[in-house]
Structure 1
């Protein structure tokens, strides 16, 4: 490990919560605080106590949490241009928060001073100094965020440097250079940080926004140039395009630079942390998010899979387990024999390169995907298909025919009635059921017909249903792909159906779901 200290400063609860669509409750913020502390984050910015009652309450409540690793910071700004520090409500809210650290931002860009604050450059310097001094007089440690520093340096380097020199002289413990508009390039960030280090002795930090998709790169370049504190958010949440994503920065520091920031054992919980925060934020993690996305270590091309089976390093930059993720092999029309062998083993199916049925299964999958099937999210249908082609599956029932009628009356709820004829062994059952739609009616009719033979079907239920139009240029004559997720309360499985008739596609996916459940029940007996 490199002997280099790096401080992780998380602002998910303040900057991250400013992302459109995110609203953390007080309980959410406290849960995230505990999770960040457990993971090993050094500083947690809890909010802006001068801006809303929820953040004021957070700083009261967080004092009762038994934190082991993190220190709590309260966020705010320098005093207002025409108000004395001791009379400034924002500064007094920081003091009243009783947080050990105050992180305040001030203006580094002369444009903001004259246009936004409508004050003089000299008064801005006084605002920075007096605010830091006032907070320190009240026992708070102060981190100073130099807002728009890189834009300010580009426009007027002498004044930008003067603002942070004033902050240093006033006693700020950290000077954090902010790329607030997110428009700087990594080479520029690195060169500016190097120049600042020649002028400033106080430890530096970086606070990068992602408007140019460069926040992670800019943060790492600032690290290379000598900053010791990196600020960011979990999953890159934040204003506009977001902040620097700590979920990408942390493994880069640990695994690429060899700097211990949370340790290898905690790093294995990186994906867990990312998904935990995403769940409370009510946000989906992109499948292709580096390190922690479900597709981050997914292999689809046959050439890739063949190589990965020989040596994972051929197409994986780190072991997925290092960040709590896992390798995934996808079976599709791009698949080769290696994909199928890997996937079959993952599903518990015995198949190898010498199996005479191997090429037949690959051919069948490619034919079906050409027709519109999609097995990446329908592993239950895939498992059934492989076993059917190999001759290892005996159907538990057979659908002979089905009919569904929907009656739509003005000012009344639609009524759907499904009739099915099902054969189980040598016995035939003819039954009907009403539902709140044609798919629901078919599902209920099938269950009713099979309940005499398989009462355990009542344990499963459909939990998700997605329809994708294939070849939309054909309008209402286009094929549709139906993907459903079914659950027994403990585990969930996906199945797929494709047809020009949405009812038939849905029915095929439902039948696969039931057959899969019954097959697994027989295997576990």
Structure 2
């Protein structure tokens, strides 16, 4: 068990990058595991290479290719410091998550406030494909309110660690067990799903946990939940607890993982390997403190293991739209290092990387940007650029240069980039001037002074043209004013 213990938004233009043709050859990693629901990935063909680190078919408890996501942006996400979702925003987020394909959408308890109750009822009436859940305390008063909202299921939770039993609700395990049975039986009597979860599971006594989970499993709970409420667990602890629980209960196992120590995605993946069936997520990971398992990060991790299964299950190009929607609602930027949607997630810079990417993107990419409706880029206006990346840009511009000439032009780009990073316009201008000089006979490979002269003349022409345009605008404005 547990011991006691700068953002950038997505740019509107890629001014220093070359878009790479997405029709380049690809290599998919397919793990060959068929999920129990019949959604398993297809068997790899002779042209595909098996991922040696993907789940093994022999591990019969492994659910990496047979899982469900309980999306908690509209419950856990409301606990994020910046979050305030009005009804229209909640509906927009719920519809977007449904279009993406999440299995469940979890909402704030209708017992929290009158508006929370009305919002819960409104979302239940949308007719979404995803099942709608609400999250309540293990208390009959909350349960009575929840079952009247029209939800498909109720998620019941109560703290079981010594910390929470002493300093939060003050109840012992006997009371917790008795109340859990009462609430679960009541919810079941209404014909809807019910999950029972302990809170602060990884700091709870293992005997207490297994005892109450066995009890609720016997009375027919749909899922039991494990919660790393303070984010203290590591993958080995998660694996051992889920594996142990899998041998004790017959129902599904859900896991809720906070990210205080940066372990949420790794812990979620490990939980599935150990036999968990449902993972709680939120968009961008928003939630209490630093939040929980992020939807996009988990999808990236699971895609890497079995892309065909994940593509068949979710509308992946929707991910960026959902993250932008939530980011705007809570007034944060998409982090630059965000999996999939970070602005440099599919940008390649180093010369060796760029050469390999241009030959086969799978050399330096485990995720295919086109599967997410995105594009890869090769950044070339810098001192690390390689001539193969510059050659790709030359071809895109429709210029004709030999390899030796491209290498010569690349040396000039590197020289200029030692002073400042060159924009794509800067690079394109240099390549066009170089090409023009070669074609006119004014330039040859190695003639540095001639190239400097041609570039200087080009800059002077550009400045003269800009001055002329400015003067023309000034005259036009004066004439208009006089009229």
TM-score normalised according to structure 2 size: 0.74
Correspondence for 2:94: 33
Alpha-carbon distance, 1:34 to partner = 0.9
Correspondence for 2:387: 337
Correspondence for 2:138: 78
Correspondence for 2:34: 2
Work out whether 1:111 is the aligned partner of 2:163. Answer: yes
Cα distance between partner residues in 2 of 1:294 and 1:151: 38
Alpha-carbon distance, 1:398 to partner = 5.4
Residues 25/397 of structure 1: CA separation in 2 closer, same or farther (3 Å cut)? farther
Give the match's secondary structure for 2:148: helix
Deviations 1:349-379 (A, max 9, x none): 13466166534543343333322x334xx43
Work out whether 1:55 is the aligned partner of 2:116. Answer: yes
Correspondence for 2:354: 305
| Residues 401, 435 of structure 2: 8 Å contact kept | no
Work out whether 1:387 is the aligned partner of 2:432. Answer: yes
Correspondence for 2:214: 165
Cα distance between partner residues in 2 of 1:304 and 1:13: 40
Match of 1:198 among 221, 237, 247: 247
Residues 170/264 of structure 1: CA separation in 2 closer, same or farther (3 Å cut)? closer
Alpha-carbon distance, 1:390 to partner = 4.1
Work out whether 1:66 is the aligned partner of 2:122. Answer: no
Match of 1:121 among 148, 173, 179: 173
Give the match's secondary structure for 1:240: coil
Work out whether 1:424 is the aligned partner of 2:468. Answer: yes
Correspondence for 1:207: 256
Alpha-carbon distance, 1:344 to partner = 4.8
By percentage of residues, which structure has more strand? 1
Deviations 1:465-503 (A, max 9, x none): xxxxxxxxxxxxxxxxxxxxxxxxxxxxxxxxxxxxxxx
Give the match's secondary structure for 2:124: helix
- Number of residue pairs matched by the alignment: 398
Superposition pairs of residues 101-500 of structure 1, within 5 angstroms? 101-152=153-204, 156-257=205-306, 260=309, 263=312, 266-331=315-380, 332-345=382-395, 348-351=396-399, 354=402, 358-371=406-419, 373-375=420-422, 378-391=423-436, 399=463, 423-424=467-468, 429=471, 448-449=473-474
Higher relative contact order (CA 8 A, sep 6+): 2
TM-score normalised according to structure 1 size: 0.69
Deviations 1:317-363 (A, max 9, x none): 13221233221101211111122233455xx4134661665345433
| Residues 351, 358 of structure 1: 8 Å contact kept | no
Structure 1 unaligned spans of 5+: 80-84, 401-420, 430-446, 456-525
Cα distance between partner residues in 1 of 2:130 and 2:313: 18
Cα distance between partner residues in 2 of 1:225 and 1:385: 56
Give the match's secondary structure for 1:112: helix
Q: How big is the alpha-carbon RMSD for the aligned residues of Structure 1 and Structure 2?
A: 3.0
